[in-house]
Amino acid sequence: MAKKKIYVAGPLCEEPGRAFLEKIDKMCKELGFDTFLPHRDCGLFKDLKDVDKIAKKDVEELDKCDILIGVLDGIYVGAGTAWEMGYFAAKGKPVIGVKTDRSVKKSISEISVIIAGSVKIVESLEELEKELGKIGK
């Protein structure tokens, strides 16, 4: 039986955001999952010529993955992360949001009611690990 594959979505523009995604990626691998990490497996946007290649590869990988983890930290959810989460949820696949910088209750306006009401949101990496344990590899 093939391992379940996790798409790890979140902020890519700054190094701290990518480092946090890599931490989640490492945890997922240690739990026995395969992963897709956009900046590692597809590359970063550098020029408009990259748009088609990146968008095509990201959607292909979304279709191949079984679970999506979306990082919701910060003062707003990134447009790419929100799109990926919505696309994945529309396919009926499990989406887990990770909000570690403030409680969901205190940051609902930044997250959006539709995201908070339609996906499981955890508030720590420990909670994420437990949630992934429930899903199984």
CATH number for the domain harbouring residue 75? 3.40.50.450
The number of distinct structural domains making up the chain is: 1
List the domain range (segments joined by +) for residue 29. Answer: 5-135
pLDDT tens per residue across all 137 residues of the chain: 568 999 999 987 677 778 999 999 999 999 999 999 987 766 665 666 666 666 687 889 899 999 999 999 988 888 889 999 999 999 999 999 999 999 888 888 888 888 988 899 999 999 999 999 888 76
- The tokens 């990926």 sit on which residue? 84
- One DSSP character per residue, 56-115 reads HHHHHHHHH-SEEEEE--SSS--HHHHHHHHHHHHTT--EEEE--SS-TGGGHHHH-HHH
pTM of the model as a whole: 0.89
Are the beta carbons of 65 and 6 closer than 8 angstroms?
yes
pLDDT at 37: 92
pLDDT at 43: 60
- Which run of H or E residues covers position 71? strand 67-71
